[in-house]
Amino acid sequence: MPSEGFIPSYESGTEWLRSGGQSSDVVMSSRVRLARNLAGWRFGHKAGHGDRQKVLEICRDRIAAAGLANLGAPGGPTSAVPPAHTPDSPAPPAQIMWIDLRESPPIERQLLVERHLISKQHAKGKPLPDLKSGDVETTDPRGVAIALPDERLSIMVNEEDHLRIQAVRGGLALAEAWADADRADDLLESTLDFAYSPRFGYLTCCPTNVGTGVRMSLMLHLPALKLSGDIEKVKRAAGDMNLAVRGFYGEGSDAAGDFYQVSNQTTLGKGEQTILGDLADQIIPKVVEYERMARRNLLAKRGAALEDQVYRALGLLTHARLLTAEESMQMLSHVRLGVVMGLVADVDLASVNALMLLTQPAHLQRVVGQELDQEQRRNARAQLIRRRLLKAN
């Protein structure tokens, strides 16, 4: 399992930004995450540095030997972000890449957060008191394994739980993401002894994850429901059904660019297939239809205003000289709405999706090739968007 100093190329494909997939006009991606802990070892909130280091070593070695690479093999439509290879060169082989987050500079950890491969909490690490001296240990043992080349599977080690197994698919493909996560879980459990109770199921740090340990979520683009003022109704309905509605980067984040993550809140007492069926077959299709209905209503009743908002956003993006990350996400959200509704013909969905990633701070600095302060990032972001969108035209 390669490891030394690797960070995915900012231009390489990432599964959650594919422009294809079922209901991809509304559903950006489907994700399944499994929380697991090793039996006989202190859980994250009680573990000291030595315990976490040993858990890291055990998990890293077992992940390397588990035969997980084929779960990340390409097999779907072209990624939204262009791959590093060309039609004349072979695609890179499927492999599992290990990254020791203690050795990664902050900007590279942020790159992984922006690609949704690790959480903000995992990037930061856990301050650990040294039991002998009382000092704070800043090199919290933690890492992540990533399936390449499409990043369809990632496994965080020593986040909140010992293992967080995450599988992602583009569009509404929760069943396929579940199949990937379940297969990875089976392969790992064949060599690791997970903490499990016959009464409660899999044991986790957070009580809401006890049971199956599964969290199923979908990234939804809901600009029309936001524009029509109905997004709060969706949030209230989700709460009534024990669903969580979070922002672009999950728990504690804002809904940048009208993107929302919807997921189950509890796992105890519900089987995986029940959770999967509720979300994939019942709840999410209804939300998709509500968003599409809101789009049709906006076009029918406020068509000129809607088109004006879309083209104002496109005009700003193609002419602005300074843009914040928040501004660019909101304007790209409007342009994305115009593209999927057929109002904008000269910009493709893949280009818009790619810009949503490449304009994030760490990716932007990787594109430019140097560290930038906030003002420099605003300038570089505007240049990048102008260049890419005008080229698309």
Model confidence pLDDT, tens digit, residues 15-70: 878 777 899 999 999 999 999 999 999 998 789 989 999 999 999 999 999 999 87
Mean per-residue pLDDT, 177-189: 97
pLDDT category, 79, cuts 50, 70, 90?
very low
Please give the single-letter amino acid code of residue 221: H
pLDDT category, 91, cuts 50, 70, 90?
low
Asked if the model's pLDDT at residue 1 lies above 50, the reply is yes
Q: Could you give the CA distance from residue 304 to residue 325 in angstroms, rounded to a whole number? A: 27
Mean per-residue pLDDT, 197-210: 90
Nearest to 242 by CA among 220, 269, 223, 206: 269
CATH superfamily, domain at 15-216: Glutamine synthetase/guanido kinase, catalytic domain (3.30.590.10)
Amino acid 87: pLDDT = 45
Q: Which value, in Å, is the radius of gyration of the alpha carbons in the chain?
A: 21
Query: Could you tell me if 153 and 134 are in contact, meaning their C-beta atoms sit under 8 angstroms apart?
Result: no
Q: Which has more pLDDT, 132 or 212?
A: 212
Asked if the model's pLDDT at residue 363 lies above 90, the reply is yes
Q: Domain boundaries in the chain?
A: 15-216, 302-392
Amino acid 244: pLDDT = 87
Mean per-residue pLDDT, 308-329: 96
pLDDT category, 9, cuts 50, 70, 90?
low
Quick: pLDDT tens for 98-120. 999 999 999 999 999 999 999 99
Chain mean position to CA 248: 8
Phi, psi of 97 (to 5 degrees): -110, 130
Amino acid 139: pLDDT = 80
Quick: pLDDT tens for 225-235. 999 999 988 88
Amino acid 80: pLDDT = 35
Q: Which of 15-19, 266-270, 335-339 has the lowest mean pLDDT?
A: 266-270
Q: Which of 231-245, 277-291, 300-314 has the lowest mean pLDDT?
A: 231-245
Amino acid 256: pLDDT = 72
Query: Could you tell me if 254 and 248 are in contact, meaning their C-beta atoms sit under 8 angstroms apart?
Result: yes
Paired sense of beta strands 27-36 and 214-221, if any:
antiparallel
| Percent of the chain whose predicted confidence (pLDDT) is above 70 | 85
Look over the chain and give the mean of its residue pLDDT values, rounded to a whole number. 87
Mean per-residue pLDDT, 185-191: 96
Mean per-residue pLDDT, 277-303: 95
pLDDT category, 249, cuts 50, 70, 90?
low
Asked if the model's pLDDT at residue 307 lies above 50, the reply is yes
Mean per-residue pLDDT, 155-176: 96
Amino acid 384: pLDDT = 96
Structure tokens at 12: 């390489």
The torsion of the CA quartet 295, 299, 301, 307, rounded to 10 degrees, works out to 120
| Percent of the chain whose predicted confidence (pLDDT) is above 90 | 68
What residues form DSSP beta bridges with 34? Answer: 165, 214
